[in-house]
Amino acid sequence: VGSVQEITHDVYPTPLGLMPGVLVSANGILTLLSREFLRPVPFPVIFFSAYLFSILILELTFALSVGLGFIAGLGLMIFGVMVGFCGLLFLNWQTESLSIILLGTAAWLAALIYKYVLLVAEILQLHRQVAIDPLSGAYTGKYFRLWVKQRAFQGNKRYKAHGLLVLRMERPTEMLHRMSWPEVQHQLQEFARILRSLSPGSRIGQLEEDTQVLLIPGLKPSKAADFSKKVLEAFEGVPGHLGLGLLWKDKFILSASEWLRCGQQVASRSWEMATRSVELYRPQQDRPMSAESKIADPLQSSSPFDYVASEVEEKNRALEKSLNDLQKAYKELEGHFLEVT
């Protein structure tokens, strides 16, 4: 304890770096005298700091490009190490820089994998097993919804123009009444091929067994009429009953699921008309009521409410009729019971 010489092999790692044994002994004595011992970091501080640190890295990595996200994550990790050093220096907290670096790296990798999960799946060829519809060759509904979400509704991409072409066809079980199974499969693949030819390089999804969707980057409302003519020319020689709907991104449609649901509604309207035409998106009619009530004029938005009111009134009349029939059956049952008694 009384030695004051520095010996070559008498060096030890400490939270403040490598330190000669004589200084370790002196610091130990000083700590005992001053009673300023190292304390573990309180659990609430660890929990909330790790949560806030991870969320910041996840959000920045997901919103920025790969390079900027890496720089932002690295900056947050350096900041976390400095905060830990300040906690050790001023609060005597026993912090670990390695844990902060590992946590930041894990959060950055998790955000990067989630952001590019579709690209990773394509590179590993896993989508061939889980994401491709075996009949049509288009992407399955869940995979296509995820693709639309990442391509059109996340980051800066939500401000770019995109369009959807929704094709509603006969169900395969209905096609079997007039053609064989190989012909049904060929017909579904032909639909996908025609859709793919309309916008080369775009994605095609099989939302339902009778619904295929094409994502069209860069489609604006001003180009809808010209694109509709192109669609009709492509489907001119295709037999069968078809419903075609074309829509574009509306600033009041905030999610991919809502957008695809609107597209199915537009295609269903074309299907019910039973004419080979392309139905265009009508914001006041096809947008959900929750979004419509926020921006629509009261005089213009009264028709959906009138439709709902008439439908409720019709259901009330049907319920009243059922109640009357039930009362009549009850009286007949009561009469039979009296006779038996």
Q: Say whether pLDDT at 2 is over 70.
A: no
86 within 8 A of 78, measured Cβ to Cβ: no
Q: Say whether pLDDT at 275 is over 80.
A: no
At 291 the pLDDT is: 36
Q: How many other CB atoms are there within 10 angstroms of residue 169's CB atom?
A: 23
Q: Say whether pLDDT at 307 is over 50.
A: no
| pLDDT tier, 163 (very low <50, low <70, confident <90, very high otherwise) | confident
At 3 the pLDDT is: 62
Q: What percent of the chain has pLDDT over 90?
A: 0
What's the per-residue H, E or C state across 58-84?
HHHHHHCCHHHHHHHHHHHHHHHHHHH
| pLDDT tier, 119 (very low <50, low <70, confident <90, very high otherwise) | low
- pLDDT tens digits, one per residue of 57-71: 888 877 777 788 888
DSSP helix/strand/coil, 106: helix
Helix residue spans in the chain (DSSP H): 21-34, 43-63, 66-90, 97-115, 117-124, 127-130, 141-152, 172-175, 181-198, 224-234, 256-273, 283-286, 289-295, 302-340
- pLDDT tens digits, one per residue of 219-236: 888 888 888 888 888 888
The token pair that represents 61 in the structure block: 């990595």
Highest-scoring range by mean pLDDT, 62-66, 166-170, 177-181: 166-170
Tell me the CA distances in angstroms from 164 to 67, 167, 204, 248, one per residue in order: 31, 10, 10, 6
DSSP helix/strand/coil, 153: coil
What's the rounded Cα separation, in Å, for the pair 341 and 337?
A: 6
| pLDDT tier, 296 (very low <50, low <70, confident <90, very high otherwise) | very low
